[in-house]
Structure 1
Amino acid sequence: MASETTTTAASDEPLKLALAMALLRSKLVNKTSETSHPPSDTSSSEALKWKRKAKERKQEILRLKQDLVEVEDGMHHEVFPGSASCKCYFFDNLGKMSPNEISGEGFDERFKDVLRRRFLRQVRLKERRKRRNDGSTQRLFLSDNKAEETEQLRASADFLVELCDTVRPDDGDFANWSHQAVDFILDTINNTLSKGKNIESVDGIVGSLSLHIVRKMCTTLQGNAHHDARIHVQHLLRKLGSESCIGQRVILAVSQRICLLAENLLFLDPFESTFPEMHSNLYILIQLIEFLVSDYLISWSKTSGFATELFEEWVTSILHARKGLQLLESRCGLYILYMDRVTGLIAKLVGQAESLQRLNPNILQRLFC
């Protein structure tokens, strides 16, 4: 029995020794690890890391705040400096009939993109101020998102109408902003109509834009020394009229305005203070119709989206305006002479365009008689 106990104790000795060595090795490993990476050093490095990140975030927020201030203040930082704005050719050939060549059409596309971004930012700032004054919290997002094109068009049209309130021929800002507004409006309409979407909304915006600018051409700056202001607005409408859906609505609005002026002049004393202004407006309106017909009628008739119903409507309105001006022939025969020149030009161009000869026979008969 004693020998068995001695044998068991002897067999346990290697096991105890192995356990002791394992415990000793574990303690040495832990001690070495603690020595090489003290807890205080680890926590200190983590704190420095988070402090550095917090500082970077703070600097980023400050930069964003500064950028926001610069954008809201306007054009402090542009890709091109403010003095290097568009060398605008927009009002070249002012008042000339069908110029053969328009200067500046081939300008750098990169420069055009910069001007477009500047214009969108200007529209956004003006829209933001308007909404703030109206107490509205809704924001206008002007981006390249195609879904926002109709809202961009509406805001740009409003911007252009308001710009006409401050027109001065010697103001470079008016030339630059009106040029960019017209280019943007025409591009947006072309893009929208080519997709066949939101056509009713575009028609409503275009109709309202045409009416408002025609009205402003006749009423803006009345009595102002800058008579050329109305000529500049007329030229602006002429540029917008390159797009058929705008040009035809402008002619319709102008012809209706002529009818109204003719009726007012018929019962107005020539010595009234408003007579010279109305007399001058008549010539500007008739001249605008002549410009639009001469410049674009043939090209309009060749487009797939040409609205023949709208064409028939404004031709009928012009013939009605001519009839109204005939009543004024005893006062001023030039009215009817100028109107006859316009109707003669329309008849000539209709005769040259086969697509226009398939219109309402009654209208064509009245036009050619």
Structure 2
Amino acid sequence: MSASRALLLKLVENRVLRLHWSPLFDEPAPFAPDSVDFDRVCGMLLGLCIGDALGNTSEGMLPKHRFLAHGEIRDYLPNRYAEGKPVGLPSDDTQLAFWTLEHLTDHTALEPEALARLFASRQIFGIGGTVREFVRRSQAGLPWFEATVESAGNGALMRIAPVVVPHLRQAGSDFWADAALCGALTHNDFASISACVAFSGILGELLVAPQPPSPQWWIEAYVSRARSLEGETRYKPRGGALAGRYDGSLWRFIAERVPAALAMERDVLEACDEWYSGAYLLETVPSVLYVLSRHAHDPEEAIVRAVNDTKDNDTIAAIVGAAVGALHGEMALPKRWREGLLGRTSASDDGRIFQLLDATKSVFASGPTAI
């Protein structure tokens, strides 16, 4: 048994991590070794950055208030951190995702304790309460599996995409264990860890998908993996029309509510308003899957709908952007968005994300995708 799987099994068996062991951890990655075109990997990672950058200047606004302030957002808004220029700048979504990528490239594999130290050593923009507490515990000297916080927020899911990258060559079962460990680093919660594993599997399948999947596929791909990992948990809506009307697992909420909204042909705004589309996973995950079910065939429209029609729009657009980027590749993302992205991971490191993408390609691309 590999080091990643052995560590995960130990932490699950000792009930340190809030996750159920599953036969999924014995399965290979959802792609064959050396089968992924690196343009799709770049699309996945740039899509994440672009979605984040398009959304973070209006993050947290109710869609109706955002529309009154900005109209429909289809380009970067003027940013006070760039002298009012309309350029793409990062929030914590991009920072934590690309610091994960940096770590994976430097170490060629996931080392949770080293990644925890990296997160705890840098300034995080717009840091959420869960990650703030994780950083406090890490800086106090706790090991990562004691510093992690019980939280069903979306702060782990938003940064999970890079965990796919080290597995491109060998595509073994460590893929799933690393997704669980990487997600659990900051958020020790059944819904969060299972969502990170399930969405990593979705990204892996999208990287080799020959065409956009059906609307129902997104729901089945998520639920089929998350069900056994999350188990029969209990989460309640905190807002929207469903407040007080559901008490159960995240995977079951997805299985029931997203198909129902699709059957009623609701637009993204209406559907996401029902479950509130905030930073709680019972809001974020159905919003992501609904946007993708409706619009994954059109990467620009998928990201635009995530940016305009949801409340926690930078994170939802970042996750949607990663998915459509993996499905369609870098060149399918609008040129104006790619060129307007400054590429920062901190206050002034312009171009850093592009440097990291080049470094990642040199380390992990092989076969027909090698340079």
TM-score (norm 2): 0.26
Larger RCO (alpha carbons 8 Å, 6+ apart) = 2
Between Structure 1 and Structure 2, the one with more helix by share is: 1
User: Which of structures 1 and 2 has the bigger CA Rg?
Assistant: 1
